[in-house]
């Protein structure tokens, strides 16, 4: 599969096309699905780019015991298959095709297919990550079948019920037998909701390991900057994809206009959802002052993020990555489930016509801010989260240390 060509705009180089070799063992939503042989295995349910990235270290540690199910929630090559290639998670035991459907349609179809799959196999446990529709489907299917459920990145709370993800993460946590909380703040959120202490483990976040594994070296980062016509510490890197920012023409028009007022070049990595909205609303001309890039392979994206003077995004994961890369980030949202970086690496900026002013203000002190951030500790752990998660899984299943490998 190949990346789409850039939308109108200047500068940005399209990501190189990559031919994938993702090999599913079983495919489909209807009819028979073939379970793995035997009963010694852990089901890993995922369906989006962040899940692939963050579960890759756990999958690697579990080795032959990991049986990965991809729901197809992200079906664009750059958001799924190419990420799997980057992270080494190319083989799926089962691949579904729920992408492009409504949220409820995705959930119902994925739960039904997973229920059939699990009923023919009975996995030792089911592991899900984060707050996606795929994660909720995995959790509901595990609960329906009586399979132990492990939630990686448990306990995140925005306390904003307008976010579908908030409902997902609360439901998954309360269904889970093991909640792997990335920080003490997320642990405290779980305790405040009455989840028992013995169901919670503070593990750190696996994104720290994922970044360390694939971040290109200095020479490669410099080459990528040249390819995208930007210079170290002299550009703003932007991603936007949340419905409240890109699904309404007036808001998307406002945000694109505000980005064009930045005093440094803006490299805008355009999510497929955002691309569709720009085309639908006829906003292509507003991209002319910006440098446009298609969704990037994860290592390439990290390389460009690590050299940006400022990150501007509504992404949850990029808030974490900013603290690992020691880069400042403006979070274009009303709320965040990652308060650990607020006031240090990042700040919330409500979507609207103040974005440009805030970008200019942060860039006016960019060098001092960069020096300060370089000495700050990343709040998401020490790079050993996956080992702690697998150890907690071993204890949950009462396995010997050797059997968990």
Catalytic residues: 241
Surface-to-core class of residue 39, CB atoms within 10 Å of its CB (0-12 exposed, 13-18 middle, 19+ buried): exposed
Strand partners, 364: none
| 262's tokens | 């930045």
Q: Which CA distances in Å does 199 have to 23, 180, 194, 328? A: 35, 9, 11, 34
| Cβ neighbours around 401 below 10 Å, total | 9
The conformation of residue 71, written as its DSSP 8-state character, comes to -
Residue 102 · residue 73 · CB < 8 Å = no
Distance CA 120, CA 78 (A): 32
Classify residue 22 as left (phi > 0), alpha (psi -120 to 50) or beta: beta
Distance CA 348, CA 329 (A): 9
| 293's tokens | 């890039």
Helix (H) or strand (E) holding 292: strand 291-293
**DSSP letters along 121-172, please?**
T--SEEEEETTSHHHHHHHHHHHHHT--EEEET-------TT-HHHHHHHHH
Strand partners, 218: none
Distance CA 318, CA 210 (A): 13
Alpha helices in 247-297, H assignment, sequence order? 249-259, 272-281
């Amino acid at each position: 599969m190949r990346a789409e060509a850039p939308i109108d705009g200047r500068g940005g180089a399209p990501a190189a096309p990559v031919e994938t070799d993702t090999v599913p063992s079983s495919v489909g939503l209807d009819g028979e699905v073939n379970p793995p042989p035997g009963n010694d295995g852990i089901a890993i349910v995922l369906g989006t780019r962040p899940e692939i990235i963050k579960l890759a270290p756990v999958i690697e540690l579990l080795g032959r015991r990991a049986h990965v199910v991809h729901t197809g929630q992200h079906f664009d090559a750059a958001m799924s298959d190419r990420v799997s290639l980057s992270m080494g998670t190319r083989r799926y035991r089962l691949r579904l095709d729920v992408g492009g459907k409504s949220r409820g349609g995705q959930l119902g179809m994925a739960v039904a297919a997973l229920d059939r799959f699990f009923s023919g196999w009975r996995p030792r446990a089911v592991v899900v990550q984060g707050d996606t529709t795929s994660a909720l489907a995995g959790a509901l299917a595990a609960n329906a079948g009586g399979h132990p459920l492990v939630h990686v990145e448990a306990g995140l709370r925005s306390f904003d019920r307008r976010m579908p993800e908030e409902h997902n993460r609360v439901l998954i946590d309360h269904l889970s037998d093991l909640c792997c909380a990335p920080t003490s703040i997320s642990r405290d959120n779980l305790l405040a909701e009455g989840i028992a202490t013995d169901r919670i483990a503070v593990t750190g976040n696996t994104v720290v390991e994922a970044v360390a594994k694939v971040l290109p070296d200095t020479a490669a980062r410099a080459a990528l900057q040249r390819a995208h016509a930007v210079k170290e510490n002299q550009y703003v890197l932007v991603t936007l994809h949340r419905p409240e920012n890109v699904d309404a023409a007036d808001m998307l028009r406002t945000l694109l206009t505000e980005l064009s007022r930045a005093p440094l070049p803006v490299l805008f990595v355009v999510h497929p959802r955002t691309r569709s909205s720009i085309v639908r609303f006829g906003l292509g001309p507003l991209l002319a002052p910006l440098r446009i890039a298609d969704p990037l392979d994860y290592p390439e994206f990290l390389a460009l993020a690590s050299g940006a003077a400022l990150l501007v995004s509504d992404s949850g994961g990029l808030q974490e990555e900013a603290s690992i890369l020691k880069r400042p980030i403006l979070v274009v949202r009303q709320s965040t489930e990652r308060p650990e970086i607020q006031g240090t690496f990042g700040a919330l900026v409500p979507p609207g016509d103040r974005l440009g002013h805030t970008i200019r203000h942060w860039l006016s002190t960019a060098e001092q801010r960069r020096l300060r951030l370089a000495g700050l500790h990343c709040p998401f752990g020490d790079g050993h989260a996956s080992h702690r998660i697998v150890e907690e899984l071993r204890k949950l299943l009462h396995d010997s240390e050797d059997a968990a490998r």
